């Protein structure tokens, strides 16, 4: 009898072990704070609830920027780290060069339902390394956009019947509009003119609008690209010198200028959409809208980056094939549910979500969705991307030039020379 009880207990114990092992865990790292962090936390909770008993994501949020990428690099080198992580597409070259990222095979992507055709060509390509291999799956496209005060634009005759700005395309028209919108106590435009990232994004947008190439074959601003860069910096400097845009404005102050009605328009990232939405809901904001950055030069183009998902290359302790399959299926789930993520102002990377009626009804996001087709991603270089030497160079040269402290030609040359020296 005792022997039968012992056997039954052993069988029960084995069954419990089997049940415990049936639940898979996914270790997750991200760098998402603020409103992005809140939205991702909600999605993580939804995923865990939907997959209760089978899969659980165990998330950790780390510090954005250089600290995050340094942590990823050092942990991967010693065989530690997560099963999946968020990663900026602009930092793919860094991740590949440091051996921090594991390439994603076409067969394993297809098995998880991830198809290249479900993403914009530029966005998908930006998730590849310099070697052409796929290292990530995009979640969104985030860019700079033009926020505008409908009342002030209407008073200036710059608002169409559709509630969207008119007469802003072309540098001459743009400048004329800025002059017209600048009145006593109100600036035409607010830009974070004391923020290196913001200055870079505006500069890179306008450079690409005239087919300027920032980096090619290892050379920065080579040939006539230097003249194009000089022209762009000169245009940006004009905004400040003419009094159309306040100079030396910190990031939070530039937002406050717009939301207080002291600036008719505002250039900033899509990630500030929740700020405007929340203020409007509480009755603290005027009638507003947001569109793609106007085309000042030859054709539409807008700086862009993407939050993407990647699997680390944990040296000596790689993510197992079974876990990789589970991770890629999880990534696919997040893309299928990215409409909720779009609430943070982002454009869904998933074309099926972008094309859905639910997204088309999401305002003002769908009003600037056109930028996804003309998005230009940062140069493919370990020196470029979020919190990179390129951003520092923009802060050291383009930013003071915009604020009238340096000649545009000198700023362009010094930016070129500084980066070229670092590339040696």
**What are the extents of the domains in the chain?**
2-141+305-370, 143-304+374-422
Can 2-141+305-370 and 143-304+374-422 be said to share one CATH topology? yes
Quote the CATH superfamily of domain 143-304+374-422: Periplasmic binding protein-like II (3.40.190.10)
Residue 15 has pLDDT above 60, yes or no: no
Instruction: State the pLDDT confidence band at 2, using cuts at 50, 70 and 90.
Output: very low
Q: Please tell me the predicted confidence (pLDDT) of residue 281.
A: 96
Q: Please tell me the predicted confidence (pLDDT) of residue 6.
A: 37
Residue 8 has pLDDT above 70, yes or no: no
Cα dist from 342 to 182, 307, 363, whole Å: 33, 12, 10
Q: Please tell me the predicted confidence (pLDDT) of residue 21.
A: 53
Q: Concatenated DSSP letters for 331-343?
A: HHHHHHTHHHHHT
CA dihedral 320, 326, 331, 335 (to 10 degrees): 160
How confident is the model over 236-251, as a mean pLDDT?
A: 98
Residue 244 has pLDDT above 90, yes or no: yes
Residue 19 has pLDDT above 70, yes or no: no
Q: Please tell me the predicted confidence (pLDDT) of residue 12.
A: 40
Q: Please tell me the predicted confidence (pLDDT) of residue 133.
A: 96
Reported pTM: 0.93
| Beta pairing partners, 61 | 30
**pLDDT, averaged across the chain:** 94
Length of the chain: 424
Question: Do residues 140 and 338 lie in contact, with contact meaning Cβ atoms separated by under 8 Å?
Answer: yes
Peptide bond into 364 cis (omega under 30): yes
The CATH number of 2-141+305-370 is: 3.40.190.10
Provide, rounded to the nearest whole percent, the portion of the chain with pLDDT above 70: 95
Residue 178 has pLDDT above 90, yes or no: yes
Peptide bond into 413 cis (omega under 30): no
Residue with tokens 């306008």: 206
Backbone angles phi, psi at 94, to 5 degrees: -65, -45
The candidate with the shortest Cα–Cα distance to 176, out of 228, 239, 259, is 239
The candidate with the shortest Cα–Cα distance to 301, out of 412, 217, 191, 211, is 211
Instruction: State the pLDDT confidence band at 424, using cuts at 50, 70 and 90.
Output: confident
């Amino acid at each position: 009898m005792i022997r039968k009880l012992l056997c039954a207990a052993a069988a029960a114990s084995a069954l419990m072990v089997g049940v415990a092992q049936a639940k898979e865990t996914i270790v997750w790292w991200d760098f998402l704070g603020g409103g992005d962090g809140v939205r991702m936390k909600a999605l993580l909770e939804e995923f865990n609830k939907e997959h209760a008993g089978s899969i659980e994501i165990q998330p950790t949020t780390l510090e954005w920027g250089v600290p995050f990428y340094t942590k990823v690099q050092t942990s991967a080198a010693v065989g530690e780290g997560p099963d999946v992580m968020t990663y900026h597409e602009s930092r793919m070259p860094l991740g590949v060069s440091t051996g921090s990222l594991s390439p994603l095979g076409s067969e394993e992507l297809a098995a998880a339902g991830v198809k290249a055709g479900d993403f914009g060509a530029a966005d998908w390509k930006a998730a590849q390394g310099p070697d052409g291999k796929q290292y990530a799956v995009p979640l969104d496209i985030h860019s700079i956009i033009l926020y505008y005060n409908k009342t002030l634009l209407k008073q200036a005759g710059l608002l169409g019947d559709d509630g969207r700005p008119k007469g802003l395309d072309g540098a001459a028209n743009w400048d004329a509009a800025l002059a017209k919108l600048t009145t006593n106590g109100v600036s035409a435009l607010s830009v974070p003119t004391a923020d290196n990232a913001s200055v870079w994004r505006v500069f890179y947008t306008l450079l690409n609008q005239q087919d300027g190439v920032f980096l090619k074959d290892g050379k920065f601003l080579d040939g006539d690209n230097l003249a194009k860069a000089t022209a762009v910096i000169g245009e940006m400097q004009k905004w400040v010198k003419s009094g159309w845009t306040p100079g030396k404005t910190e990031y939070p102050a530039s937002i406050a200028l717009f939301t207080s009605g002291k600036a008719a328009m505002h250039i900033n990232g899509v990630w500030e959409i929740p700020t405007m939405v929340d203020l409007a809901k509480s009755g603290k904001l005027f009638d507003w809208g947001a569109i793609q950055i106007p085309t000042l030069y030859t054709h539409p183009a807008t700086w862009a980056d993407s939050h993407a998902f990647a699997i680390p290359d944990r040296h000596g302790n790689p993510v197992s094939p079974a876990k990789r399959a589970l991770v890629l299926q999880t990534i696919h789930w997040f893309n299928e549910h990215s409409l909720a993520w779009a609430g943070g102002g982002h454009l869904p990377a998933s074309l099926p979500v972008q094309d859905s009626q639910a997204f088309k009804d999401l305002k003002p996001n769908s009003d600037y969705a056109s930028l996804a087709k003309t998005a230009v991603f940062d140069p493919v270089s370990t020196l470029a991307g979020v919190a990179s030497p390129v951003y520092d160079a923009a802060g050291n040269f383009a930013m003071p030039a915009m604020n009238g402290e340096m000649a545009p030609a000198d700023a362009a040359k010094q930016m070129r020379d500084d980066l070229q020296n670092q590339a040696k």
